[in-house]
Amino acid sequence: MTKTSKKILLVVLVAILTVFAFNVKVFASVSSQEEAITWFKDSNNFKDKTVFVGQRIAAVSTDYNLTYYLKPEIKSNNTSVIDFWENSTTYLMAKNVGSAKITITCKDATGANIEQSYNVNVVKIKESKLQSKNNDIVSVTENYDENVTKVLLANGELWNIDDNANKLAKKDTGNVKKYTFGDVYFRKGKNTKYASVYHTLKNNNKLTTKTSLGNLKAEKVKEVTCYGYLTTKGKYYALVQQDDKISYKQKAKNVEELLGISLLKKSDGLYTIDNVRIVKTKIKDALGHPTEGIYLDNKNVLYKYSYDMNSKKYKTEKIEKNVKEILDYGTYKDKKGKTKTIYKNNTNYEYKERYYVNGGFLNLKYNGKLYLGDKQILKDVVELAYVPTNYDKVYLFKKDGSIWTLALDDNASLIQVRSGKDSAKGLSVPTKVKAKKKSNSKAKVSWKKVDGATKYTVYRATSKNGKYKQIGTAKGGSYTDKTVKKGKKYFYKVVANGSKKLFNSKKSEAAKVKI
- Using one digit for the tens of pLDDT, what is the confidence trace for 10-63? 443 444 333 333 333 333 344 577 777 777 776 655 666 778 888 888 777 666
Assess whether pLDDT exceeds 70 at residue 449. yes
Edge-to-edge strand list for the sheet holding 370-372: 351-357, 360-365, 370-372, 375-378
- 71-80, 348-357, 440-449, 475-484 — which is least confidently predicted? 348-357
More confident residue, 75 or 226: 75
How much of the chain exceeds pLDDT 70, in percent?
Answer: 87
Assigned domain for 190 exists:
yes
Residues 234 and 286 in one domain: no
Listed range (67-81, 156-170, 474-488) with the worst mean pLDDT? 156-170
Q: Tell which of 222, 255, 288 closes a domain.
A: 255
Mean pLDDT calculated for residue range 122-141: 74
Position 265 scores a pLDDT of 86
| Span 430-435, average pLDDT | 95
Q: What is the mean pLDDT of residues 393-402?
A: 87
Amino acid 188: pLDDT:
66
Is 22 part of a structural domain of the chain? yes
Distance CA 267, CA 50 (A): 57
Lowest-confidence region among 145-159, 179-193, 236-250:
179-193
Is residue 374 assigned to a domain? no
Is 294 in contact with 286 (CB distance < 8 Å)? yes
Residue 166 has pLDDT above 90, yes or no: no
Considering the domain architecture, whether residues 214 and 233 belong to the same structural domain is answered as yes
**What does DSSP say about strands 381-387 and 375-378: parallel, antiparallel, or unpaired?**
unpaired
Please answer whether residues 496 and 429 qualify as being in contact, where contact means their C-beta atoms are separated by less than 8 angstroms.
yes
pLDDT of 133 over the 80 cut? no
Asked whether 281 and 297 are in contact (CB, 8 A), the reply is yes
Please give the average per-residue pLDDT across 231-260, as a whole number: 87
| CB burial readout 68-103, b (16+ within 10 A) else e | ebbebebebebeebbebbeeeebbbbbbeeeebebe
Query: Are residues 497 and 449 located together in one domain of the fold?
Result: yes
89 and 27 together in one domain: no
Q: pLDDT-based confidence at 190, cuts 50/70/90?
A: low
To which H or E segment does residue 495 belong? strand 489-497
Task: Say yes or no: 9 and 90 in one domain.
Answer: no
- The answer for residues whose C-beta is within 8 angstroms of residue 199's C-beta and 6 or more apart is 178, 179, 180, 181, 207, 208, 209, 224, 225, 226, 229
Cα 225 from chain centroid (whole Å): 15
Of 123, 154, 189, the domain-final residue: 123
Give percent of the chain above pLDDT 90.
33
Closest CA to 53 of 10, 99, 19: 99
Same domain, 24 and 37: no
Q: Which of 419, 356, 350, 364 is nearest to 386 (CA)?
A: 356
Instruction: Please tell me the predicted confidence (pLDDT) of residue 417.
Output: 84
Residue 437 falls within a domain, yes or no? yes
Domain assignment of residue 495, given as a range = 431-514
Given a cut of 80, whether residue 346 has pLDDT beyond it is no
Q: pLDDT tier at 5 (50, 70, 90 boundaries)?
A: very low
pLDDT: which is higher, 357 or 176: 176
- Any domain includes 397: no
Same domain, 440 and 506: yes
User: What pLDDT shows up at residue 26?
Assistant: 35
The per-residue pLDDT for 478 is 95
* 341-346, Cβ contacts within 8 angstroms, sequence gap of 24 or more: 342/294, 342/302, 342/304
pLDDT at 349: 83
Assign 290 to helix, strand or coil.
coil
Mean pLDDT of 291-311: 93
- Mean per-residue pLDDT for 162-186? 83
Number of domains in the chain: 5
- Among the candidates 315, 342, 369, a domain finishes at 342
Note the pLDDT tens digit of each residue in 102-113: 998 888 777 788
State the virtual CA torsion across 145, 371, 294, 311 in degrees, nearest 10. Answer: 80
pLDDT for residue 473 is more than 60: yes
| CA–CA separation, 368 and 399 (whole Å) | 8
134, pLDDT greater than 70: no
pLDDT of residue 17: 36
Q: Convert the pLDDT of each residue in 353-384 to its tens digit.
A: 988 887 678 999 999 999 988 888 888 899 99
Query: Of 389, 433, 309, 375, nearest to 146 (Cα)?
Result: 389
pTM of the model: 0.72
